[in-house]
Amino acid sequence: MINKDKIKKHYKNRLEEIRLQEIVKGQIVLLGDCVIEHVPTEEHLNDQIVYNNGISGDTTVLLLDTLYKRAIKYKPSKLFLSVGSNDIGFDKRDVKEIYNNIISICEEVKRRSKDTEIHLVSVIPVNHSQIDFINRDYVDARDNFDINMLNYYLKNYARKSRIKFLDATKELKNNFDMLNLEYTIDGFHLNTNGLQIVSNLIKKYA
């Protein structure tokens, strides 16, 4: 069962950690949900200043509300963003609304931090297999059709807007367009190998 109180408490604690960071402007900022928060920046991006402001449980709505304190005030040189899965799983938001919220995030960054180069990281699919270690509360609340459709919209938006689209899904999925079990601890959250794929992709463009 999803412990929403625990998620809210973690969100509040992470916002406070981010608030207390000493900021050097013009660096790299990572933004989004658990996929981003758990990227091992010290291990894979240790030759640059990187602010990992990802928060597990993040949604597009929460991110819009906290965008200034987590990204815009940093005036980042590069921003890597991955968000949207929890909008589907927690809030039952439809794909078009999620897509429009992500566009709003990108446009707000462009407007208020004009020199920031935005990189959209694809939303990761889940694995619906009937296996004991699959977290059914997380996985069954998400439909890979919706996730694939969201990524399709985002890829087109990125192309039209000259924003880079980083397709992490391409390497993380299996032949059935589900998250490969080699890269997950529960069908939703990535394991060390899965996170390394995401961090290597970010490092390539950082």
pLDDT score at 128: 97
Q: How far apart are CA 124 and CA 174, in angstroms?
A: 12
Tell me the torsion sign for CA atoms 190, 192, 197, 203.
positive
Query: Residues 40-73: pLDDT tens digits?
Result: 887 767 778 999 999 999 999 999 999 999 999 9
**Contact indicator for 52, 41 with CB cutoff of 8 Å:** yes
pTM above 0.85, yes or no: yes
**Contact indicator for 121, 82 with CB cutoff of 8 Å:** yes
**Does residue 100 have a pLDDT over 70?**
yes
Closest residue by Cα to residue 24 from 86, 76, 100, 101: 76
Summarize the confidence of residues 11-33 as an average pLDDT: 97
Q: How far apart are CA 59 and CA 79, in angstroms?
A: 17
pLDDT score at 44: 66
Q: Return the structure tokens found at 7.
A: 């998620």
pLDDT score at 48: 85
Mean pLDDT score of the chain? 96
Tell me which CATH code domain 4-205 carries: 3.40.50.1110
**Does residue 13 have a pLDDT over 70?**
yes
Tell me the torsion sign for CA atoms 205, 27, 38, 43.
positive
Q: How far apart are CA 109 and CA 166, in angstroms?
A: 18
Closest residue by Cα to residue 79 from 47, 124, 114: 114
Query: Residues 155-203: pLDDT tens digits?
Result: 999 999 989 999 999 999 999 999 999 999 999 999 999 999 999 999 9
Residue 125, judged by CB atoms within 10 A of its CB (0-12, 13-18, 19+), counts as buried
Place of tokens 């069962």: 1
**If you write DSSP's letter for every residue of 25-56 in order, what string do you get?**
SSSEEEEESHHHHTS-HHHHSTTS-EEE---T
Q: How far apart are CA 153 and CA 168, in angstroms?
A: 15
What confidence category does residue 85 fall into, taking pLDDT thresholds of 50, 70 and 90? very high
92: left (phi over 0), alpha (psi -120 to 50) or beta: left
